[in-house]
Chains A and B, each alone.
Chain A
């Protein structure tokens, strides 16, 4: 199959007119999206794009194939269908399914403008690479070159190892001024390797003996100087880039994986808000401006499908849209501030209306400054939890099933926050690059009530030790006891400390 067979096409004139209308409505409401290019795709293309994270070109890797396999089966069997996809670039690209009925196309376009406004205006996205389309394509070229040169298996299996730790980054790092930069300039970051831009000369410029000597020197120097890192570092990938004994191409691959992880991180940090914002606006624009009478039922049907909650799951679309509406309503009626908070007459609170009309302004502010954590922490109220019938659930070992545990809004908030803080993943830091003075790596799992999954930890440590090329240790807690997991020479062990 040639590339031509897999090309998307531009909007039909009808749809292009609709797009212009919808964009005009969006702007009239105050949305401020990037220019957005819509492409028409068929189901196979949208499954491919979804597997590739929305980008038309990625480096070759089997996991994209796996995702594609599952998406296309899900589609074939009628289990799932991807309605909408948009990527955070400038201009933004969004995809419309050719086979969708017109009312769906309208909904998707309005929804997309919500997302693109969000991408453009949310602080958290200010540092994301808006030319990621090109960057991804460049990554693909680089990795294909490495595959041609070193073999597909070798490169792919190294990518596997990098992906095992791709979540060990610090999503807030882009906003922190680099403290280390001055120091990094002073000393060669690498393991004593002399700089050399001609690969074929490397074994003469950096012969193994020399490297070993350098390494010992460095080790001694390190031991004499202070610990590396000076304080626990969350961006473990950056640490590895700086200190792990990697070949040039490996270093480059790890940097690529890290780049892409940082690109996607803010989207994961704002899933609830982003989907809520886009749903709020597609609903508003369609019901107030765009829909024909004959389309209302179909629209409602699809909208309620998108925002439906399943048992035991938080649907970000639902929570997001409801919260934005709640905030708008509260600020319209002045339901905030000391007087409101301290009022204990429930009837007065329910009927509270100071006719402030600040709602619209408030939600635009929230969309600019909050992330999911502050959004939930700040605005998920008792009344909201009650109205949406939220609960927490726990696994009951005795009955071997999940059961409703509580309806207290503080517990609910805590659960949701825990599920999204650090994207629901354990907090892991690197604390020592020369553990026990043997060049071993020491990580620290900041325990917050939940144990690591040991089986997964073992596999992850295996990958990590193949990158670090020395044993890897993780300080953690198991059943309330402090423990150290170690992975050395293909063996996993654990001991109490």
Chain B
């Protein structure tokens, strides 16, 4: 009995799911916490159950029957399913949430389509070669576990026919050693672009939890998109107040310090990291700096501009500055950058993120240029 190929219905369902996510992308971006990570490259997204409506009773009113000890008034625990009353999988009623699993790649595609993000053109001369082995070949030698039955059979058949030992009346196929065929690998050389994202964040007293949440959410989406564009991507994290230091991801989003702000300290560290680990001839480099726009002094701002202009910009694909609105920040640094580079500079992108709703447009600003 041949079973109808349900994979088509399944991909149809996945299509509908992706459509729903796309429709509600703003909600998911704004509330980044709704998205759960699952393993290295998968996420789960809660969707309201996609269900076919029908006339039915309201849920809670209903009650039902059950079995067990206890006296009247005792809570029954478990997960009662009033109405259909039968513990059957698949036909439960109620407003269940559907946890949809997506790969980051799929999520990136949805983001890309919804924001109309252009594909990134990697800087041309920075390709790396890598070798990939794929089992698409056939060899005459090999382990039995890789024996290719069909090819071996064919080979034997061919030999027997040509030798005249094949009898269609009694089709016996006896392979000998030289008929044996095995699956084998072929090497593929691929050209890959490597990329590194260097996140820098101002953790001085004026950056509160809400600001950090915005940065975290934005970083997640930027990561997701860039990961879909580059195969090997690395991320580095720098926090700074008056001094800068490199930290791991965890610390990056959790740390809260106080004290002054010297942005130049971060840019210097960033430059150092690039020089040590990421020769610009081989890497696509994306520094993102998030701050509330306060810098200690005009003097330090001048140092920053100088660093950007002469050191960082020539090494990077694009330098992104995101300014998160905070009650205490003056927002001066954005103005300074704007004055220095203008809004249409080819490798400096500036974006203001007023609140959570600003995340989506800001992502578009950063990634919409395709660099």
Contact = CB atoms under 8 A, between A and B. Distances in A.
Contacts of A401: 75
Interface stretch (B2-10, B267-275, B335-343): B2-10
Contacts of A316: 86
A190 interface: no
A123 interface: no
B72 A406 contact: yes
B65 interface: yes
A420 interface: yes
Q: Indicate the member of A1, A61, A73, A453 with the most B CB atoms within 10 Å.
A: A453
Given A7-B3, A49-B3, A419 B64 contact: yes
Contacts of B72: 403-407
B90 interface: yes
| Contact-size category for A | 35 or more
Nearest to A459: B53
A65 B80 contact: no
B12 to A, nearest CB: 4
Given A80-B89, A426-B55, A419 B83 contact: yes
A93 interface: yes
A484 interface: no
A39 B1 contact: yes
Interface string A395-436: 101010111111100001001100110011110100000000
Contacts of B58: 450-454
- Secondary structure call for the B interface: loop
Given A56-B4, A395-B60, A402 B76 contact: yes
Contact of B1 (A93, A311, A452): A93
Interface stretch (A159-167, A192-200, A247-255): A159-167
A74 B59 CA distance: 24
A392 B64 contact: yes
Given A402-B75, A404-B70, A412-B65, A453 B9 contact: no
A206 interface: no
Interface stretch (A208-216, A285-293, A383-391): A383-391
B18 to A, nearest CB: 12
A6 B79 CA distance: 36
A441 to B, nearest CB: 14
A216 to B, nearest CB: 32
A165 B4 CA distance: 26
Interface string B72-95: 111111111111111101100000
A368 interface: no
A391 B54 contact: no
A419 B76 contact: no
Given A65-B9, A65-B12, A402 B80 contact: yes
B135 interface: no
B1 A1 contact: no
B86 A405 contact: no
B80 A313 contact: yes
Nearest to B100: A69
A64 interface: yes
Contacts of B69: 389
A482 B61 CA distance: 18
A271 interface: yes
A168 interface: yes
Interface string B1-32: 11111111111111110000000000000000
Nearest 6 pairs of A and B residues by beta carbon: A312-B80, A311-B78, A459-B53, A65-B9, A65-B13, A419-B85
Given A48-B4, A60-B8, A69-B13, 14 more contacts: A48-B3, A63-B52, A65-B10, A67-B90, A70-B89, A93-B1, A167-B54, A311-B80, A313-B86, A393-B64, A403-B74, A426-B57, A457-B55, A460-B55
6 contacts: A7-B1, A57-B3, A272-B86, A312-B66, A312-B79, A424-B57
Interface of B: 1-16, 50, 52-87, 89-90, 101
